[in-house]
Amino acid sequence: MKALSLKGAWWWWALLHAGKPVENRDWYSGFRGRCVIHISKNASKTEYGEFLALHREMANRDLNLPDLVPGYTELSRLNGKLVGIVNIVACVDHHDSPWFFGKYAFVWKLVEVFPRPIPCTGALGFWNVPEVLVTQINQPQPVPKPKGTQLNFQF
């Protein structure tokens, strides 16, 4: 099973809550199909700040985006974890989405959000999920119960 790492959990949040239909890259791939999404351990506050600036700019263009983006600390809980599965349906060099700003982008459709993110070491490019984790991914996972007033951002 293939996986792809995202530099920050905010990009995963944007897919789930802000209509982000593409993942920008500076390289092309012919890969199509189901792909596990991994959040990199090395996402920085500077990169999060850049995402917030982009989100504000897009919101100012009246793109019907959610006002509230989870905080850096909350999103960082997903660092170093597998968070869900997408279906990559294309790799394009242009797209009508305001989220497209790369040389290329993978067009993706959400398949599944893992109720419990799975710790895993990532890699660059497409990489193979360790077989022991593929078995875990393929087993039904119980949905965690919310704790207190914890915000639920479907992570």
Instruction: Express each pLDDT in 128-147 by its tens digit.
Output: 999 999 988 887 665 554 44
**Gap between the Cα atoms of 120 and 125, Å rounded:** 15
Q: Give me 135's structure tokens.
A: 């078995």
Instruction: Express each pLDDT in 36-61 by its tens digit.
Output: 999 999 889 999 999 999 998 888 88
Q: pTM, whole model, 2 decimals?
A: 0.86
DSSP 42-107: T--HHHHHHHHHHHHHHHHTT----SPPPPHHHHHTTTTEEEEEEEEEEEES--SSTT--SSEEEE
Q: Give me 105's structure tokens.
A: 């982008």
